[in-house]
Amino acid sequence: MLKKRTMIPETALFALLWLHFAAGNSDLSYRALKFGNTASDYIVYQPNMAPLQNAFSACFWARSLLTTSRCGPHIMSYEGGGFSNEIVVSDEGGCNIIFGSNFDLSSKHSVSSGTWFHYCMTWGYSSGTQNVYLNGQLIGSRSTPSGRRLSTGGFLMLGNDAGSDGRSASYSYIFGGELYKLNLFSKELSSSEVLEMSRDKCTETELTYGDLRSIKWEELLQRSRNGNVREIDSGCSAETGRLWVRLSETLEELRNSSQLLDETRSELARVKEEKAAKDTELMRTEQQLNETLEDLARTRTVKEACETKLETKEQQLNETLEELTQTRKEKEAHKTSLDTKRQHLNETLDELESTENEKDMCHTDLATAEENLNTTTVEKEEALEELERKKEDLIRITTSLNQTQTELDQVRKLLEKANNTPPDCPLNSTITSYWDLLYSEDYFGDVISSEKLEVLYKSVEKLEYFVGLRVTEGMIQFMKHFHDGTDKCPNSTE
């Protein structure tokens, strides 16, 4: 835990420093100017005001010694080239002139005669504002004419008013007091900067602005002087100034440290609150962690069971993959068989289609056959009637054959006597007898016609008796029985 530090008051530090120098430091090297009581006691010269055209701050330490009317003692006056009263400052607050316009603040100038006071007048073209500070505090602020810049080429007078020509002093504006560290800065100082500069006349705060100090006090000390204007002890030495600077820096550091300490304490309180909140959150987190660990343990158990199931599932999967591979092979074989069957089916379909066509033809033929059958039935009846007639003819023929038996016997005798073969016997090397001729396909099983009779007539006597009869085995044997054996053609090989 941080311990609270005891801060030394600033007034105590100033007092300690003053006692230190009062006791052992009489070498006073920082100088002030003391102006006489006549109109001839002043400093005047023509400075370079160009850096101050857009912004300036006129600051100094002064001590009034004369009592005059309002806006009487003029500490400084600048008459610009062609412009009167560009800058005028009196010691009792009655004159705070810029661009010829006065800003009377005498009612707020509460410094007693014979007392050192710090004064600053600031202005900026961009802000268009004139500010007046007394001992670091703002006592007046107003707007200035827009578009107006500080003129150049004029004369600056210390200890009196410069007049319209910049060099004519007046008895009405005699300063007659003491002046120290008058500097003109080429910037519009902020209120905090003015406050820091006003803390003590022995500090060297002005030196920290470098080139922004366009008109420097140490250079004014070297300017020529009119009348009774002399250097006096300001009560500050170089070492004192440096120590005041260091003291100011130390005080600023202390203020910053104090502020930082307050901020640190606030930050510490905030961190403690955050820590308490974090501790509470940590406890919840630990509880959640314990619950999570328990969940993790249960999850691990479930995981192990799942891994076991997974191994079983993997084994089953491998078996299923093997079965799937076998099934794929069987599927390929089945596909091949299916293709073959499909081909056979297509062929069968083709055959079926052909059969259907044949069936249609058969139906057509059947219809035709039924028509023919109807026709054949009629013919059959006619044939039966013809058969009956043939039977009757056969009976008559049989009767006739019996009656002609005697005649056949006579024919046989006649045949046996036949001994000459007709000159143009039709037999050849294949048919060597008359009976062989009857066995040929031109005669056997057929009815003897008149044309066939002409062929046989030359070889067989009494053959006309057989006209109209079918050549059968019995008929041929009968014919051979009645021949006398001369059944061969002449010149036969047998």
pLDDT tens profile 81-129: 777 889 999 988 889 999 999 999 989 988 888 899 999 999 999 999 9
Sign of CA dihedral 454, 460, 462, 465: negative
**DSSP assigned state of 263:** H
Distance separating alpha carbons of residues 359 and 365, to the nearest angstrom: 9
pLDDT band at 427 (very low <50, low <70, confident <90, very high): very low
Continuous segment of H or E residues that includes residue 229 = strand 229-233
- Radius of gyration of the chain, Cα coordinates, nearest whole angstrom: 82
Distance separating alpha carbons of residues 422 and 475, to the nearest angstrom: 22
pLDDT at 65: 86
Alpha helices per DSSP H over 187-237:
191-197, 217-220
> What is the identity of the amino acid at 384?
L
Q: What's the whole-number average pLDDT of the chain? A: 80
Q: Which two tokens stand for residue 279?
A: 């501790």
**DSSP assigned state of 273:** H
Most confident by average pLDDT, 139-143, 285-289, 413-417: 139-143
> What is the identity of the amino acid at 247?
L
Residue 435's φ and ψ, nearest 5 degrees, are -70, -30
Residue with more model confidence, 365 or 274: 274
pLDDT band at 264 (very low <50, low <70, confident <90, very high): confident
pLDDT at 491: 46
* Percent of the chain's residues with pLDDT above 90: 32
Distance separating alpha carbons of residues 208 and 185, to the nearest angstrom: 12
Residue with more model confidence, 388 or 166: 388
Distance separating alpha carbons of residues 488 and 425, to the nearest angstrom: 10
Query: First CA to last CA across the chain, in angstroms?
Result: 167
pLDDT at 224: 94
Helix (H, G, I), strand (E, B) or coil at 257: helix
Q: pLDDT tens digits, residue range 141-175?
A: 999 999 999 999 999 999 998 877 767 778 888 99
Distance separating alpha carbons of residues 42 and 34, to the nearest angstrom: 10
Q: Which two tokens stand for residue 268?
A: 């510490």
Q: Which of 131-145, 369-383, 454-468 has the lowest mean pLDDT?
A: 454-468
pLDDT at 334: 82
Residue 10 scores a pLDDT above 60: no
Q: Which two tokens stand for residue 274?
A: 């955050």
Q: Please, are residues 134 and 117 in contact by the beta-carbon 8 Å criterion?
A: yes
Q: Which of 328-342, 366-380, 467-481 has the lowest mean pLDDT?
A: 467-481
Distance separating alpha carbons of residues 463 and 267, to the nearest angstrom: 164
Most confident by average pLDDT, 256-265, 367-376, 430-439: 256-265
Q: pLDDT tens digits, residue range 447-492?
A: 777 777 776 665 555 566 566 667 777 777 777 665 545 444 444 4
- Categorise residue 93: left if φ over 0, alpha if ψ from -120 to 50, beta otherwise: left
Q: Please, are residues 169 and 36 in contact by the beta-carbon 8 Å criterion?
A: no
pLDDT band at 413 (very low <50, low <70, confident <90, very high): low
pLDDT band at 248 (very low <50, low <70, confident <90, very high): low
Residue 353 scores a pLDDT above 90: no
Closest CA to 110 of 68, 64, 66, 176: 64
Residue 433 scores a pLDDT above 90: no
Distance separating alpha carbons of residues 19 and 11, to the nearest angstrom: 12
Residue 266's φ and ψ, nearest 5 degrees, are -65, -45
Q: pLDDT tens digits, residue range 13-51?
A: 444 444 444 433 333 348 999 999 999 999 999 999 999
Distance separating alpha carbons of residues 433 and 418, to the nearest angstrom: 14
Continuous segment of H or E residues that includes residue 436 = helix 434-439
* Percent of the chain's residues with pLDDT above 70: 77
